[in-house]
A and B are shown apart, each in its own frame.
Chain A
Amino acid sequence: MIDRAGRPAAARAVKRLVEAAGLLLGVVAVSFLLFSVLPGDPARTILGPNASVEAVENLRRTLGTDRPLPEQFATYLGRLARLDLGRSIIDGRSVGAELTGRFRVSATLGLLAGLMAAGVSYAINLGVFLWPRLTPLYHLTRLGVVTPTYCSGVLAALLFGVLFPLVPLGGYGSADTAWALWLLPAAVAALYPAALMTGVLRQRIREAAASSFVRAAAATGAGPMRLFHATLLPVVAVSWLSVWVNQLSLIFVAAFVLEVIFTIPGVGLLLIRTVQDKDLPMLQGIILVNASFFIGLSSLSETLFDWLDPRRSVDASA
C-alpha cells in the first residue's frame, strides 16, 4: 500500500506513460469501431450523387473501404506504428500536416478561454472575499450559462459588429489576424467554465474559511489579502485546478462550435465535414491528436497535483 507513494518519482512517471499509451490505444480502437458504423460511403462522397454504381464500386476497391473491418483496422494500426497518420480518403491531403495547423488554432482558442475562465473565477472570488458587497457579481457570472454556446456566440458577434463597425470580425485564417480578435470567441467559450469554476471555488473557500486552521490564521491578524493567498488558496487550489483541467475538454467543444460561427479554421470546422464525409483517416487523426492532448494534460496535471498536495498520493493508497 505504501509502495505507490514510496516508489521513486521516475518509476511513477513511467507507469503514467504506460497507462497513457494504453488509454490512447483504447481511444484509437473504440473510435475506429464507433466511426465505422457511421452512415455514408466515402467513395460515394468523392464521386457525388451523379456517379454510376460501377464507378463507386471501383473507387471503393481502390480506397480499400470494401475490405473487412479488422483488416482495415490492422492496416491503420500498422501505419500508425510508423507514426504515419495517413491521408484523407476524400482528397488525399496529409492528415498530419492538416491537423498541425488546425489544432494549433483550436488550442489557442481553447487555452485562451481556459485562462480567461480561471482568471475570472479567481478575480471574482478574491473580490467577493475582500469586499463582501460584491457578492452580486458572483451571481452575475451564472448568467453566462443560461444560453447555449452557439446562441451567445452569434449574439456576441453581432453586438461586436454594432459596437466596433471598423474592426473586421474574421479572417482568422490569415497571417494578419489581430491578437485582440481572439478575445471575443474565447470569452464566449469561457462563459460556462467561468461560471462553474467561480461557483466551485466559492464553495471551497467558504468551507475552508470555516475550518479551524484558517480561523486560527485569521486570528493571528493576517490581512485578508494575505489570508486569501497564503492560507485559503493553497488549500483549495488542487480541487480548483482539477476542475479547470476537467473543464478544458468542454471548453474545447465550445471552441469547436464557435469556430463554425466565427469561421475560425480550427479542428471544429473540419470535424463536422469529416464526420459527414466519413473520412476515417482524418477523423481518427482528429481523435488521436485531441486524445493525446488531453491525456498528456491530465498526466501532467496529476503529477503536478501530487507535488502540490502530497496528501493525495498517500491518500490514494489508503
Chain B
Amino acid sequence: MRRPDPRLWLPVALFAAAPFALMAAGEARDPFLVDTARAYLAPGPDQPFGTDALGRDLLARTLYAAGLSLKVVAQSVVLSLVLALLLGGAAGYAAGRPLDRVIGWTISLLYTVPFIFVVVAILTVLQPGLERAYVVIGCIGWAAPARLVRATVIELRGTRYVLAQRAFGFSPTQILTTTLLPRSLLPAVLSLAYFVPELIGIEVGLSFFGLGAPPPTPTLGRLIYDGLSEFQTAWWLSLTPAGVLLAMTASVLACTHLMLRGHVAPAPTP
C-alpha cells in the first residue's frame, strides 16, 4: 500500500481544529446573553445573523452550535467508519462462514429496529449527554457502511488481482489491509459523509427525550428545527444556521472527494 500523500493531512488537521475554532468564535460573542429588548432583530450590522426570541445573538449561537455539532458528529462518524471497515471487511472476507453470519445478523438487527430508539434506550440506561449520545450513534451507525464494505470485499475477492495475491502467499490480513479495505473506503466514507446533516438532525429527535444537549446549549440541528417554527416571521432563525450547515456539509463532502480521488480510486484491473 502506498503511503498517504502528506498533503492530505492538511484538510484533516483543518477539520480537527475547526470545531474548537468555531466554538471559540461563538463564545467570543456570547451565545447565551439574553436581552429580550433585542428580540427578533433581523440581520443587520450589529447582529449579522439576527437575534432570536430571547434577543440572543444568532451568529454567536450558530458558530458555537456548528462547532459543537461538528465535533460530536465527527467523533461519531470516525467511530462508525472504523467499525464498518473492521466488521464489514471481516464479514466480507469470511463470507458465508460463521463470523459473517454473526456480523450479518447484528447488522440486520440494527437495521430493522429504528435507529433512534435504540439510541434512546441505551442512553436511558447510561447517563444521557450530547457527547455520549453521539458515541452511541457511532456504535450503531456502522451497520449501513459495513454492508457496503462487505459487498465490495466480496466483489473484489473474486478478481484475478486478489487471487494472484493469494497465490503469492499474502495473508488474509495483508490482502484486506492493502487491497480490499482501501477500495471499500470510498463507498463507506461517502455513505457516512452524506449522512452528516442527518446525524446533526438526529439531535433534535434526542432532545425530545431529554437526551440531547441541555438548553440553552445550542446545537445546529436544534437551531434549525426551532427556527423553522417561526419561518414566516423570522426567516433568519432557520435559514442562517441552515446555510452554515450547508456550507459545512458541502466542504466536508468536497474534502472527502478530494482526499479519496486518485488515492484509492485506481482499480486493480484484472
Contacts and interface: CB of A to CB of B under 8 A. Distances in A.
A and B touch in the complex (CB under 8 A): yes
B66 to A, nearest CB: 13
| Interface bracket on B | 35 or more
Interface in A80-130: none
A254 B198 CA distance: 9
A195 B232 CA distance: 29
B245 A146 contact: yes
A271 interface: yes
A53 B147 CA distance: 49
B179 interface: no
Interface stretch (A30-38, A58-66, A178-186): A30-38
B201 A315 contact: no
Contacts of A316: 95-96, 154
Contacts of B221: 148
B231 interface: yes
B117 interface: yes
Given A203-B186, A250-B144, A295 B108 contact: yes
B37 interface: no
Interface string B182-211: 000011001100110110110010001100
A147 B147 contact: no
B238 interface: yes
Contact of B118 (A34, A199, A242): A34
A291 interface: yes
A34 B126 CA distance: 12
A41 B151 CA distance: 43
B158 A27 contact: no
B144 A149 contact: no
B114 A192 contact: no
A249 B109 contact: no
A23 B232 CA distance: 47
Nearest to B95: A316
B157 interface: yes
B9 interface: no
Given A147-B242, A151-B201, A23 B120 contact: no
A112 B158 CA distance: 35
B104 to A, nearest CB: 9
B155 interface: yes
Nearest to B154: A315
Contact of B269 (A151, A195, A211, A276): A211
Nearest to B266: A210
A256 interface: yes
A37 B201 contact: no
* Overall SS of chain B's interface: helix
B197 A37 contact: no
A217 interface: no
* Overall SS of chain A's interface: helix
B95 to A, nearest CB: 5
A246 B148 contact: yes
A4 interface: yes
A30 B144 contact: no
B157 A318 contact: yes
B258 interface: no
A309 to B, nearest CB: 9
B246 interface: yes
B89 to A, nearest CB: 15
Interface in B128-165: 144, 147-148, 151-152, 154-155, 157-158
B125 interface: yes
Interface string B89-111: 00000011000000001001101
Interface string A203-246: 10001001110000000000000000000000000010011001
Given A211-B267, A242-B147, A290-B113, 20 more contacts: A22-B105, A38-B121, A145-B195, A145-B249, A147-B224, A148-B245, A150-B201, A192-B198, A199-B194, A200-B148, A200-B190, A203-B187, A239-B152, A243-B187, A250-B198, A254-B198, A272-B208, A295-B108, A316-B154, A318-B157
The 4 A-B residue pairs with the shortest CB-CB distance, nearest first, are A148-B201, A291-B112, A34-B121, A316-B96
22 contacts: A23-B112, A34-B113, A35-B121, A38-B121, A146-B245, A147-B197, A147-B249, A148-B200, A148-B224, A150-B204, A151-B228, A155-B231, A158-B231, A196-B191, A211-B267, A243-B148, A249-B112, A250-B144, A253-B114, A287-B114, A295-B112, A316-B154
Interface of A: 4, 22-23, 26-27, 30-31, 34-35, 37-39, 142, 145-151, 154-155, 158, 192, 195-196, 199-200, 203, 207, 210-212, 239, 242-243, 246, 249-250, 253-254, 256, 271-272, 275-276, 287, 290-291, 294-295, 298, 311-312, 315-318
